[in-house]
């Protein structure tokens, strides 16, 4: 089944991707944050409801009716129903609401191809999930300006605050520590050492990241994969200003072990580690090549990930040379920790 109206031909500088499922209590605040944005360019917010069953689709529909002009475009396929409209007051703000007809996340089917026509024609892709929200009206404008001025950068990300399900300020030490690792410049070594610390709701990527080898080879479309794909291509821009609010929920992906999320993160790391040691990434100095291999091998020991170790050693001569050094450093680190525990 496929029905269409005449397509809107507006050229968007930024495409905002919002994946949401059963977040009826929070999605209005998320959409408010989108409509809040003040820009000198048109932007489109692709809001994908993944077949919610808690009334979220009705909430989105009412919001569209109350705040947007009559539909510019509709489309219906076997996978989704699309409604595209322009905000009544913020003339640069467009919504493309895609209501999925079945749950894609549960079967591991990507939703990103559905927004390809906007994502590929836009310069940048920003992200915010349906339980988080933006609080700074200049977020998109400042990030786009920063990336415009730095062609070597592929991702701009910002500070954030944390609230609980009721909107009350909330402390999550592990997540709050992410800002301590955040910095401008080359973020690849830090990501290889610690894993992901870039919060999805704060990001703006160059659209070309999603056509890169790293992204196309990534086994799972989770935010860690997007961030590593950008890190393999170039620098990041860290903007410490708080522009967004992360809602810490017991059902959130960061806290969840459901559907083997940790295993998927591990497989993402393996995929990018192999690309790095094979040289399928940005140019590096000899020192940088040594450093990233050291970090990958050290992580393999700390995480007891023998498959990662075997994969990179088998694929790369430098990694084989580094193996004894990394192993010795790992043993010395364990002995040091044991000594400190004993004397305390």
Residue 140 has pLDDT above 50, yes or no: yes
- The pLDDT value recorded for residue 337 is 85
The Cβ-side half-sphere exposure at 203, using a 13 Å CA radius, reads: 27
- Residues in Cβ contact with 304 at an 8 Å cutoff, skipping those fewer than 6 apart: none
% of the chain at pLDDT higher than 70? 94
- 3-state DSSP of the chain: CCEECCCCCCCCCEEEEEEECCCCCCHHHHHHHHHCCCCCCCEEEEEEECCCCCCHHHHHHHHHHHHECCCCEEEECCCEEEEEEEECCCCCEEEEEEEECCCCHHHCCCCHHHHHHHHCCCCEEEECCCCCEECCCCHHHHHHHHHHCCCCEEEEEEEEEEECCCCCECCCHHHHCHHHHCCCECCHHHHHHHCCCCCHHHCEEEHHHHHCHHHHHCCCCCHHHHHHHHHHHCEEEEEEEEEEEEECCCCCCCCCCHHHHHHHHHHHHHHHHHHHHCCCCCCCCHHHHHHHHHHHHHHHHHCCCHHHHHHHHHHCHHHHHHHHHHHHHHHHHHHHHHHHHHHC
**pLDDT tens-digit readout, 278-316:** 999 999 999 999 999 999 999 999 999 999 999 999 999
**Higher confidence at residue 199 or residue 112?**
199
Q: Cα separation of 167 and 176, whole Å?
A: 17
What per-residue confidence (pLDDT) applies to 292? 98
Burial (CB count <10 Å: 0-12, 13-18, 19+), residue 87:
middle
pLDDT in tens, 9-60: 689 999 999 999 999 999 999 999 999 999 999 999 999 999 999 999 999 9
Residue 3 in this model has a pLDDT that exceeds 60: no
Give the per-residue pLDDT at 187. Answer: 98
Share of the chain above pLDDT 90, in %: 84
pLDDT at 268 > cutoff 60 = yes
From the number of C-beta atoms within 10 Å of its C-beta (0-12, 13-18, 19+), residue 52 rates as buried
Mean pLDDT of 194-206: 97
Q: Give the pLDDT band (50/70/90) at residue 339.
A: confident
pLDDT confidence of 262, banded at 50, 70, 90?
Answer: confident
């Amino acid at each position: 089944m496929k029905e269409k109206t005449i397509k809107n031909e507006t050229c968007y500088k930024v495409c905002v991707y919002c994946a949401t499922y059963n977040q009826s209590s929070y999605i209005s605040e998320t959409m408010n944050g989108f409509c809040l944005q003040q820009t000198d360019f048109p932007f489109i917010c692709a809001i994908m409801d993944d077949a919610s069953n808690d009334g979220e689709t009705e909430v989105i529909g009412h919001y569209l009716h109350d705040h947007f002009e009559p539909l510019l475009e509709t489309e219906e396929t076997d996978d989704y129903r699309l409604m595209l409209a322009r905000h009544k007051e913020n003339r640069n703000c467009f919504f493309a609401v895609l209501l999925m007809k079945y749950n894609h996340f549960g079967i591991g089917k990507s939703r990103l191809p559905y927004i390809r026509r906007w994502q590929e024609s836009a310069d940048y892709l920003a992200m915010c999930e349906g339980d988080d929200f933006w609080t700074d009206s200049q977020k998109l404008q400042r990030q786009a300006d920063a990336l415009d001025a730095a062609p070597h950068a592929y991702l701009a990300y910002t500070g954030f605050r944390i609230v609980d399900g009721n909107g009350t300020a909330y402390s999550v030490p592990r997540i709050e520590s992410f800002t301590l690792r955040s910095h401008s410049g080359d973020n690849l070594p830090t990501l290889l050492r610690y894993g992901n610390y870039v919060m999805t709701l704060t990001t703006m990527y160059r659209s070309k990241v999603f056509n890169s080898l790293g992204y196309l080879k990534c086994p799972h479309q989770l935010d860690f994969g997007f961030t590593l794909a950008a890190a393999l291509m170039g620098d990041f821009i860290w903007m410490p200003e708080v522009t967004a609010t992360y809602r810490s929920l017991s059902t959130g992906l960061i806290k969840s072990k459901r559907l083997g999320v940790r295993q998927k993160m591990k497989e993402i790391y393996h995929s990018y580690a192999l690309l790095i040691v094979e040289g399928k990434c940005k140019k590096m100095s000899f020192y940088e090549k040594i450093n990233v291999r050291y970090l990958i091998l050290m992580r393999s020991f700390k995480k007891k990930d023998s498959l990662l170790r075997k994969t990179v050693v088998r694929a790369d001569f430098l990694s084989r040379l580094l193996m004894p050094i990394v192993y010795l450093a790992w043993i010395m680190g364990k002995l040091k920790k044991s000594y400190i525990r004993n004397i305390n």
